[in-house]
Structure 1
Amino acid sequence: MAGPPEAARKAVADISEALLDRVDDLATDLSGVIRGAEPFYDAGGVVPAADLRASVRANLVHILRQLAGRPQRGPVPSLATGRRRAEQGVPLPVVLHSYRVAGRFIWAAIVAEATRTPDAAEALLYAGSQLWLIIDEHSGAITDSYRDTVIEAVRRNEQTRSAMLDVLLRGDPDDGSRRWECAASLGLPPQGTFVVVAAGAPRPGVESIPNVENALRVKGVRSAWRVEVGLHVGVVVLTPRTGIDRLSATLARLSNGPIGLSEPYPNLEHTPTALREARLACAAATGPEPVRYGAAPVAVLLASAPDAAAAVAEAILGPVLALSAGESDILLSTLRTWFAEHGATSTAAAALHVHRNTVRYRLRRIEELTGRSLTQPGGVAALHLALEACRVLRLPSRP
C-alpha cells in the first residue's frame, strides 16, 4: 500500500510543530479536561494537580513529536505514567480513560489547527490514523508498566510480610518490641490464643493450603502465612467460635496433604517453640487428617528421631519387611487394622472383608516372624511402636 503523499506528511508535521509551540497552554487545558471527565483525579488529592499537569505535558510533547516526525529519545513518558499511577493506587481503567480523553483533545486541537493548512482533508486523514495508532501504543505501554509495577509491589509486600513473620517464627533476641511491631503489621494481636500450622507442600515454593489466609479471614480468623522449602507455615489466632478442633476440620477440607498443628499458646514469644511442634506434628502426619502435637505423642516422638525410628522398625518388624511386597503389605495392613479395632479379631475381619480365622492366621504369622506375642503387653507395645515407625517413615518403601 502506498504511503501518504509527502504534502500530507509535511502538513501534519507543521500542525504538530505549531501545537508544540503552545504545549504549555495545551497541557493546562487538557489537565482540566481530564479532571472534569474523570472524577477520580479530583477526589482526595491522590494525584496532585501539579503531578497530573507534568505528566500530561510530558505525554503531549512525546505524542506531538512523534506526529511531527522527530520522536524524542530517552524515557517514554507513558511508561513513567503507568508506574507512577500504580504507585499512587489509581485504578488502571481510570488511567486508560484519561488517555482516551487526551486522544480526543489532541484530535480536536489538530482539527482546529488544520483549518489554517492547505490540503487539510488529506492531512487530517493521515493525522487521524497516526494519532490513534500512537494512543493505542501508549495505552499498551501504560498497561504493561502499570501491571509490572503492581506485581513488583506485591512481591515486595510478600517479602516484607515474610520477613515480619520470620521475626515471630524464629524469635526476637531483643526486648520483644520488634516482635510486637511485626505482629501489629501482620494484623495479629500481641496476646491471645495462637497455634502454628505446618502443612507439607507438594513441591518447593507452592502453597499446600491455597488461599488459606482469605479462607480463614472469611470465618473471622486472623492469620499470617508464608511458604518455606517443603512447608506452608502459618500463625493462626484461635477464637471462641473457631477453636483448634474446628480449625483442624477447616484445614482438612482445604488441603489433602499432611498438616501438623502445635499446641495452643497464649503469647507470641512462644511461637518458635510452637513452630518446632508443628513441624514434628506434620512429619508425623501421613494421611489427610491434621495431627496435633499433643494428640499423637508416639508418632511425634518417632518423627523427631527418624534414624532411631527406622532402627526400631527394622529390629522388630525386619522379617516382615523382608517378605515380598504383597505378603508384607497384607500382614502390616492386618496388624494395623487389628490395632485400630482394639484387638477385636472379628471386627478387624469385617473391616478387612475376610474370615476371622484369616486374621488369626496372619497375626500368628507376624508373631512367628518377629518373636513378639500379641497376648503379652511387651509384645503388643513393641509391635505397635514398630508399626507406627513404619507409618511415619512410610515403610516399606518400594518402587
Structure 2
Amino acid sequence: MALRPYVVSATDAIITAVRAEVADYQLPLQGNFGTRITQGVTYALGQFVGLLGSDTDLPDTRIYAELGRVEHRHGRTLAALQTAYQVGTRTAWQAIGDSPAAKGLPPAAIFALAEALFSYVEQLSAASVAGWAEEESMRAGSVQARRHTLVEALVRRPPVAQAEIERLVTAAGWTPPARVAALVVDDAVGVAARIPGAIAADLEPAGIAVVPAVREGFADAVRAAVRGRAVLGPAVPLAEVHRSAARAQSAWTAHAAGLLTRDPEPLLLADTHLVELLLVGAPDLAADLRERVYGPLADMPAGAAERSVETLRAWLDAHGDVATAAATLHVHPQTVRYRLASLREIYGDALDDPARRLELTIALRTPEP
C-alpha cells in the first residue's frame, strides 16, 4: 500500500506531539515509560495499516488494555491517555494528509480513510478504558476485602490485640476517627459508602458498619444514609467498638423479634432501649417482673385488666400526677382516682414504696414472652 511508509514514519512525530501536549507524559523516553509509549504507537500504526481495506476485527487489543491498567496503577485518571489518543490521531492524520500518496486520492477515499482511522483509535481507546476499569474493580475489591477483615477484627470478642488492629487499619487504608459507633444493617457496605469515613462488612445475620461519631448529631447522617431497618450502637473509642457492636447486635435481635416497639423509626438507637435490652438478656428476671404486674390482674375481665395496666403505666410515667395521667389517657381525673383506688387494693403499699414503684415501672416495659 502506497500510504504505509508515511503512516509508519509518523511514529516519532506522534511521540513528540504527545510528550509536548500531555503534561503527564513529559518524561524521558527511558525505562518502562519509553518502552510502553514507543511500543504502543509503533504497534498501533502498523496494525492500522495492516487492517486497511479489510473487514477484519482488531486482532489484539491487550497492549492498549494494559496501558489503561498502567495508568490506574500510577494513580492517574484516563484523561491523560485519552488526550494522548486524540493528539496521536491528529498527528497521524496530518502525516497522511501531507504524504504524496494521499494527494491523488479522490474525496470519497479520503473520507473513508479518515473514518477508518478515527474508528480504529476509538477501539484502542475503548480497550484502555476497559483495562482501567478492570484494575479499578480489582483494587476496589481488594480494599473492601481488607476492610471486611478489619471490621471483623474490630467487633470480635474478646478484643483483638491493639497491635493487630493497627496493622489491619494500615492495610485497609483507613484513617480511624477518635470515636466511632457500630451500625447493624442489612446492606452495610452500601450504607457505609454513603457515610464519609465509614467502613463495613456484610456479615451474618446482619452487616456491621463502623461509622465516625466525632460530631454531635452524627446519628442524623447515619439516618439519612440508611434505607431500611438499622440499629445504631453507642459512640465509643475505637478500641471499644466491639462493645458498641454487641449493644447494637443485641438490639437488632430483639427488634427483629418484635420486643422493642417504642421506636417506630427505621433507625433504632440502641441506647434508648437499655432497660428492655437488660431484661431481654435475663428472661427469668423479666418473667418475674411481669408477674408482679399481671399476676394480680389474672382474675379480672380482660377489658378491666387492660384499663388497669394503662392507668398504672400513665400514673407511674406522670410521677404520680393524676391530672397528667388523666390527660394522657383522655379521661377525667376522677376516673383515674377511681382506678387508682382499685389498684391500691391490688398492689397495696407497692404504689407508695419508691423501690416497688421502680419495679412496677420496669415490669410494665418488659417485653412480652
TM-score (norm 1): 0.66
Does the CA contact (< 8 Å) of 2:183 and 2:245 recur in 1? no
- Write the letter of the residue equivalent to 2:21: A
Judged with a 3 Å threshold, the aligned counterparts in structure 2 of structure 1 residues 375 and 331 are, in CA distance, closer, same or farther, namely closer
Judged with a 3 Å threshold, the aligned counterparts in structure 2 of structure 1 residues 340 and 48 are, in CA distance, closer, same or farther, namely farther
Name stretches of at least 5 consecutive residues in structure 1 with no aligned partner.
1-13, 215-222
Give SS of 1:198's match. strand
Partners of 1:211 and 1:152 in 2: how far apart?
Answer: 21
Q: Deviations over 1:272-308 (max 9, x none)?
A: 3453244335657752586465x86422312435x55
| 1:128 CA displacement | 1.3
> Among residues 45, 48, 55, which one is paired with 1:63 in the alignment?
48
Partners of 2:168 and 2:217 in 1: how far apart?
Answer: 27
Find out whether 1:280 has 2:250 as its counterpart.
yes
> Among residues 25, 34, 46, which one is paired with 1:41 in the alignment?
25
Aligned to 1:168: 154
| 1:375 CA displacement | 1.8
Name stretches of at least 5 consecutive residues in structure 2 with no aligned partner.
none
Does the CA contact (< 8 Å) of 1:262 and 1:281 recur in 2? no
Does the CA contact (< 8 Å) of 1:103 and 1:135 recur in 2? yes
| 1:309 CA displacement | 7.6
Aligned to 2:117: 131
Q: Deviations over 1:102-138 (max 9, x none)?
A: 2212222322346367535332121112222233344
Does the CA contact (< 8 Å) of 1:164 and 1:183 recur in 2? yes
- Write the letter of the residue equivalent to 1:187: T
Give SS of 1:385's match. helix
Find out whether 1:187 has 2:175 as its counterpart.
yes
Give SS of 2:10's match. helix
| 1:233 CA displacement | 2.8
Does the CA contact (< 8 Å) of 2:289 and 2:359 recur in 1? no
Judged with a 3 Å threshold, the aligned counterparts in structure 2 of structure 1 residues 65 and 263 are, in CA distance, closer, same or farther, namely same
Aligned pairs, number: 347
Aligned to 1:198: 182
Partners of 1:130 and 1:66 in 2: how far apart?
Answer: 9
| 1:54 CA displacement | 2.8
> Among residues 375, 380, 395, which one is paired with 2:351 in the alignment?
375
- Write the letter of the residue equivalent to 1:261: G
Find out whether 1:261 has 2:233 as its counterpart.
yes
Find out whether 1:53 has 2:38 as its counterpart.
yes
Give SS of 1:48's match. helix
Q: Deviations over 1:154-180 (max 9, x none)?
A: 232122222233333326988643222
Does the CA contact (< 8 Å) of 1:263 and 1:292 recur in 2? no
Partners of 1:158 and 1:73 in 2: how far apart?
Answer: 35
What RMSD over aligned residues (CA atoms) do the two structures have, in Å?
4.5
| 1:209 CA displacement | 6.7
Does the CA contact (< 8 Å) of 1:199 and 1:257 recur in 2? no
Does the CA contact (< 8 Å) of 1:213 and 1:225 recur in 2? no
